[in-house]
Amino acid sequence: MQRTFAAAFVLCLAASGSWAAGTYDSGASDTEIKIGNTWPFSGPASPTTPIERQMAGYFNWINDQGGVNGRKINFIALDDGYSPPKTVELTRRLVEQDKVLLMFGQLGTPTNIAVRPYLNARKIPQLFVTTGSQSLVEPKKYPWTMTLQATYAVEATIMARYILKEHPDAKIGILAQDDDFGGDHVDPFTAALGDKAKSMIVAKTTYAVTDPTVTSQIISLKSAGADTIYLAAQSRAAAQAISAARDQVGWNALIFLPYVASAKSVVGPVGNDRLKGVISADSYINPTDPQWANDPDAKAYLEWNKKYTPSQDQASNAEGPGGYIAAEAMVYVLKQCGDELTRANVMKQALNMKDVKLPLLLPGIALNTSPDNYFPMHTMQLKRFDGTRWVLIGKPVTVAE
């Protein structure tokens, strides 16, 4: 697929000349668009912070080019520590005091579920949240909430199919976060195994995000005879699980890791030797991978990254451009809104994306939405860590939902 970074760049920028006064809801004006966000800059999910830094950096970049249709983006992000009650408190502040037009990109399944009723009752877009939770998106009940990335069900289904084909005699142990994040992985994974789930899954255990370690859970899975681990885990717990399996238990199990935990900022500290052989999935290219060394979009992204993300985040941001892509999608929607920056029109444009090919999506992946389709992506590709980098496996796989 030919990706055109420059074309996407031009699409997002302000057109030349002055703009007529528009139609606005609170949070938008002739000169500004206020966007709200909560993020766990502290707490157990803080290793994901580079994703938010990409979002902020992308909006700064757009502002440096003149903004979106002549309007600068005011991106206000507050620390919720991955605590749903705190997320509710800060979201209310962003809406009622800061008067944002919409909420964008917030991380987490439980945190987003906590604020979903409030935002939908006030008809405030909750757009492109950083979670693949299929339980979060219920268009008939919550028509103002949508994600961007492929759902956890897509990922779980692809992994289950891979195991059935490549390791049909696997004995699977499951470690899951004890909330909707875990369930959104485990339920479709089990369903995709079908009749073989009963014989292949030999043990299940859970952890709470506040648990200091998950070593005891890993020991229990090994004791049950598992030779394959499906981690419905993220952030600190995902990294701890891999380290515990390799070091404290001495277990060379085949490990499947959610893509939200595959970023260098999350599992990098585990070390390349321990990560070798781990399988995950993705929808984005890794701009630092030699495979994309001559790709113009990857080169342009790496140059952007040097300028617009904090120096301590550059390595993580360079490898995984998820926050950049989410912000790019957000700017695309705002651009499509023209001078009608109402919340209703924002949702209308978000739900009418047709084959939108953003530069850093893997070949064969594009964004498509409709009033009946709140999930822009349904395609992912497996990847395996070879001891130094993630290597793509096979071809992109689409899962109908």
24-49: pLDDT as tens digits: 999 999 999 999 999 999 998 888 89
CATH code of the region 152-282+382-398: 3.40.50.2300
**What is the pLDDT, as a whole number, of residue 5?**
46
- Note whether 5-150+293-370 and 152-282+382-398 share their fold: yes
Residue 123 backbone dihedrals phi, psi, to 5 degrees: 55, 50
**What is the pLDDT, as a whole number, of residue 313?**
66
Residue 44: both structure tokens together: 């157990």
Q: Helix (H) and strand (E) counts for the chain?
A: 15, 15
The three-state secondary structure class of 126 is strand
Question: Residue 207's beta-bridge partner residues?
Answer: 177
Q: Where are the alpha helices (DSSP H) in 131-255?
A: 152-166, 180-193, 197-200, 215-223, 235-243
Q: Which of 152, 157, 109 is nearest to 130 (CA)?
A: 109
Tell me the domain boundaries of the chain.
5-150+293-370, 152-282+382-398
The answer to whether 275 and 384 have CB atoms below 8 angstroms apart is: no
CA distance 249 to 284: 33
Which residues of the chain register pLDDT less than 70?
Answer: 1-20, 312-319, 401
**What is the pLDDT, as a whole number, of residue 200?**
98
**CATH topology assigned to domain 5-150+293-370:** Rossmann fold (3.40.50)
Residue 107 backbone dihedrals phi, psi, to 5 degrees: -90, 140
